[in-house]
Amino acid sequence: MRRTLLQDFTTPAWRAVAGARTVLLAAPRSFCAGVERAIEIVEQLLARRGGPVYVRKQIVHNTHVVAGLRQRGAVFVDELDEVPPGATVVFSAHGVSPAVRAEAAGRGLDVVDATCPLVTKVHSEARRYAGRGDTVVLIGHAGHEEVEGTLGEAPEHMVLVQTPEDVDTLDPPDPLRISYLTQTTLAVDETTAIVDALRRRFPALRGPADADICYATTNRQDALAVVADEADLVLVVGSANSSNSVRLVELAHRRGTPAHLVEDAGMLRPEWFGGVRVVGLSAGASAPPGLVGDVVSALEALGPVTVRERETVRETVEFILPPVVRR
């Protein structure tokens, strides 16, 4: 599922930063249950039906995962008009709007839905809040596929907010009928600041009984915070379009620790390691676990490495596959 990128660690730049290091592994890290489910759906379809199996957008936001599935016969498309009528198409883990579902039905496509159940929960909440007459504030990042799908559930009743400052511009028809939802992959502390701003301006604000930010995002942020406080440098394995991976890097920065997002070990740079003896290492929820091992191996090329894990919680969540691909 991945390609390993090798570097020449014998160059003068790398030799200058060679030495013994400790690697603190944040746990949990890498794949979450929703990502595992989405990938397995595509793998099962390819095994049972052969290629091509079409996937709208990236099944999860990781270039290695996408490349591996493409090699096995998955065809990734941006829009449904690229899918032949009647073909099998998988909706990604990030979810889609009702308009996309209607388009798929109109074209006679065989849809298999890999939307993460936690995203489906947010969609259901959006419909429920809008149905009772609320203005629904969605906290999230413009242009993210999950946000586009959620906004599509009730576009005439929803408004997107990205920062606490955006709250000042809101003008709901009825300030007493306002609720909020969040994208599932946000930073917990930044989201709290926005919700606090909403509550100050709209005391009648209502929201979900359970936080929309998913357990996996929260768990990875909590674990990253622990290793960031002990590390000289933090590395997060993940793709640049992975929201939860980017949030981990931002969290380390806010805690005062230099941090970098890397696709794989091939992106490591010698200038990051001068004077660094303790490296915190994590991976976003869509990054394959093996890529973390590759980074550790790369650091071992620079000198002895002591690996210590910092586990904050053990994840046991599993999501059931849809019947069409269930064994």
**Nearest residue to 258 (alpha-carbon basis) of 244, 242, 274:** 274
| From 43, 145, 146, 153, active-site residue | 146
pLDDT of residue 138: 98
User: 315 catalytic, yes or no?
Assistant: no
**184 is an annotated ligand-binding site residue:** yes
For 229, the token pair is: 């406080």
Q: In the structure, what pLDDT confidence band is assigned to residue 327 with cuts at 50, 70 and 90?
A: low
Residue 53 falls within a domain, yes or no? Answer: yes
3-state secondary structure of 42: helix
Distance in angstroms (rounded) separating the CA atoms of residues 168 and 102:
35
Whole domain around residue 197: which residue ranges?
118-201
Q: Report how far residue 90's alpha carbon sits from residue 12's, in angstroms, rounded to the nearest whole number.
A: 48
94 assigned ligand-binding residue: yes
Read off the pLDDT band of 2 (50, 70, 90): very low
CA–CA dist 187, 123 (Å, integer): 20
The span from the CA of 240 to the CA of 178, in Å, is 33
Three-state SS at 33: helix
**CA-CA distance, 240 to 279, in Å (whole number)?**
20
Q: Average pLDDT, whole number, for the chain?
A: 95
User: How many distinct structural domains can be found in the chain?
Assistant: 3
Model confidence at 50: pLDDT above 90 = no
* Cα(60)–Cα(93) distance, integer angstroms: 6
Tokens read off for 247? 């949030």
The three-class DSSP label of residue 58 is coil
- State how far the alpha carbon of 296 is from the alpha carbons of 27, 65, 280, in Å: 15, 20, 11
| Cα 137 from Cα 213, distance rounded (Å) | 15
Same domain, 25 and 37: no
CB 128 within 8 Å of CB 194: no
Residue 171: other Cβ atoms inside 10 A: 7
pLDDT band at 7 (very low <50, low <70, confident <90, very high): confident
Q: Is 245 annotated as a binding residue?
A: no
**Domain finish residue from 115, 133, 165:** 115
Q: Which residues of 224-238 are buried (b: 16+ CB within 10 A; e: fewer)?
A: bbbbbeebbbbbbbb
Q: Both 82 and 139 in a single domain?
A: no
* Report field, pTM of the whole predicted structure over 0.85: yes
179 is in an annotated binding site: no
CB 124 within 8 A of CB 169: no
- Is the Cβ–Cβ distance between 258 and 233 less than 8 Å? yes
pLDDT at 197 over 90: yes
Clarify whether residues 181 and 252 are in a common domain: no
* Amino acid 209: pLDDT: 79
pLDDT, position 326: 83
Q: Which residue type, as a one-letter code, is found at position 310? A: R
Last residue of a domain, one of 201, 228, 245: 201
Is 5 a domain residue? no
Residues 174 and 219 in one domain: no
Q: Is 15's pLDDT higher than 70?
A: yes
pLDDT digits (tens, 9 = 90+) for 225-274: 999 999 999 999 999 999 999 999 999 999 999 999 999 999 999 999 99
* Whole-angstrom distance, CA of residue 312 vs CA of residue 225: 10
- Angstrom distances, CA of residue 222 to CA of 33, 217, 286: 17, 9, 17
pLDDT band (50, 70, 90) for residue 6 = low
The DSSP-derived string for 112-162 is EE---HHHHHHHHHHHHHHHTTPEEEEES-TT-HHHHHHHTTSTTTEEEE-
Q: What is the CATH number of the domain that holds 51?
A: 3.40.50.11270
pLDDT tens per residue across span 124-183: 999 999 999 999 999 999 999 999 999 999 999 999 999 999 999 999 999 999 999 999
Q: Is residue 3 part of a domain?
A: no
Whichever domain contains 173, its CATH number is 3.40.1010.20
3-state class (DSSP) for residue 317: coil
Query: Where does the pLDDT of residue 210 fall: very low under 50, low under 70, confident under 90, or very high at 90 and above?
Result: confident
- Asked if the structure places residue 266 within a domain, the reply is yes
243 is in an annotated binding site: yes
The answer to whether residue 323 is domain-embedded is: no
User: Among the three residues 144, 170, 201, which one is the final residue of a domain in this structure?
Assistant: 201
Same-domain check for residues 90 and 40: yes
Q: Which amino acid is at 49?
A: R
Are residues 303 and 237 both part of a single domain?
yes
Consult the annotation and say whether 297 binds a ligand: no
In a domain, 320, yes or no: no
DSSP letter at 167? Answer: G
What pLDDT, on a 0 to 100 scale, did the predictor assign at position 37?
Answer: 98
Annotation-wise, does 214 bind a ligand?
yes
Higher pLDDT, 1 or 33: 33
Give a yes or no: residue 77 inside a domain. Answer: yes
